[in-house]
């Protein structure tokens, strides 16, 4: 009887935990990004937000967009995360720094879609789980392990989330046309940046994970929830492929892509994607 009660108690806890992971995407939310945005822009004229936006996990790119592309600033929603709006090769584009971590980045992506964006590319750094990478080597994530909490509010429970295949293909094509080396594979998205333990790393590496990040699976899930498109591109920043964390040398080879170059690759990929849609 003791073991029966113990098992029964364990099952109750398990069921309660599973219930927390089931965000029930079919049920409308009380608070929606569009409702919040409308309360913030009552005195503004009608806003025409671009269809394409880059989410860049590099705050220095905000100023870069002003200087390099002459971007105008849209900051009525969150002054700490202003949208930079500018034309690129004749196509209206947006850029926003989405903060760090799945909850904040997903909220900003939710708002970005509510403003009118249809297709987004995110760029950022990632840790490496396997040998053979150097600083700023590029990774195209083609799926993400959902080891964070945000995605379960936008999608039914499941192990993986995926980018839009057409948008990912636009990034792939752009990189190949520019002869930029890259690898593609699975990324592990986790909230526990200081709980990346060896046993888990080993299991995920066996599953095919090349990198670890904090946002990809959530961003993929948000986009799918709204029927929008998103894909991403990572730059290698450090390694947890061994038993200790290893930051990559600050020195990089002459062909490595810096954040400004990564932004340009994302913009070129969106142009490529736009051109394909017109054909």
What is the DSSP secondary-structure string of 26-79?
TSPPSS-HHHHHHHH-TTSPPP---SEEEEES-THHHHHHHHHH--EEE-SS-T
Rounding to the nearest 10 degrees, give the CA dihedral for residues 112, 273, 275, 227.
-50
Residue 120 is assigned to a structural domain of this protein: yes
Which DSSP helix (H) or strand (E) runs through 187? strand 182-190
pLDDT of residue 79: 85
The predicted-structure confidence for 11-27, as pLDDT tens digits, reads as follows: 555 455 556 666 677 78
Q: pLDDT tens for residues 42-78?
A: 656 677 899 999 999 999 999 999 999 999 999 888 8
Rounded distance between C-alpha atoms, residue 69 and residue 80, angstroms: 20
35 Cβ contact list (under 8 Å, min separation 6): none
Angle at 35 between CA 34 and CA 39, to 5 degrees: 115
Give residue 10's pLDDT: 47
Residue 7: inside a domain, yes or no? no
Q: What span, in angstroms and rounded, lies between the C-alpha atoms of 13 and 139? A: 38
- Say how many domains are in the chain: 1
103-159: pLDDT as tens digits: 999 999 999 999 999 999 999 999 999 998 989 999 999 999 999 999 999 999 999
Is residue 211 included in any domain, yes or no? yes
- Nearest CA to 270 among 94, 65, 7? 94
Q: Are strands 138-147 and 182-190 parallel, antiparallel or unpaired?
A: parallel
Indicate the pairing of strand 138-147 with strand 119-128: unpaired
CA-CA distance, 76 to 260, in Å (whole number)? Answer: 25
The residue length of the chain stands at 279
Q: Is residue 223 part of a domain?
A: yes
What's the domain range around 115?
Answer: 56-278
pLDDT of residue 251: 59
Residue 95 belongs to some domain of the structure: yes
Residue 6 lies in a domain: no
Query: What CATH number does residue 207 fall under?
Result: 3.40.50.1580
**Is residue 70 a contact partner of residue 88, using CB atoms and an 8 Å limit?**
no
């Amino acid at each position: 009887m003791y073991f029966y009660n113990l098992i029964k108690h364990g099952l109750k806890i398990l069921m309660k935990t599973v219930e927390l992971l089931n965000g029930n995407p079919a049920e409308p939310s009380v608070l929606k990004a569009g409702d919040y945005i409308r309360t913030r822009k009552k005195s503004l004229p009608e806003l025409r937000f671009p269809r394409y936006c880059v989410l860049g996990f590099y705050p220095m790119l905000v100023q870069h967009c002003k200087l390099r592309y002459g971007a105008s600033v849209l900051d009525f929603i969150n002054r700490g995360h202003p949208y930079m709006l500018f034309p690129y090769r004749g196509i209206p584009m947006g850029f926003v720094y989405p903060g760090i971590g799945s909850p904040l980045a997903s909220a900003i992506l939710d708002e970005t879609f509510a403003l009118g964006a249809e297709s987004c590319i995110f760029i950022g750094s990632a840790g490496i789980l396997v040998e053979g990478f150097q600083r700023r080597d590029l990774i195209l994530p083609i799926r993400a392990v959902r080891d964070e909490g945000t995605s379960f509010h936008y999608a039914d429970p499941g192990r993986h989330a995926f980018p839009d295949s057409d948008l990912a293909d636009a990034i792939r094509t752009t990189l190949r046309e520019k002869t930029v080396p890259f690898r593609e594979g699975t990324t592990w998205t986790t909230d526990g940046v200081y709980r990346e333990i060896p046993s888990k790393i080993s299991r995920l590496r066996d599953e095919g994970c090349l990198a670890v990040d904090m946002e990809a699976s959530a961003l993929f899930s948000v986009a799918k929830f709204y029927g929008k498109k998103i894909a991403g591109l990572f730059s290698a920043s450090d390694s947890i492929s061994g038993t200790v964390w290893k930051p990559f040398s600050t020195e990089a080879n002459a062909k490595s892509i810096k954040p400004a170059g990564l932004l340009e690759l994302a913009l070129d990929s969106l142009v490529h994607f736009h051109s394909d849609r017109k054909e």
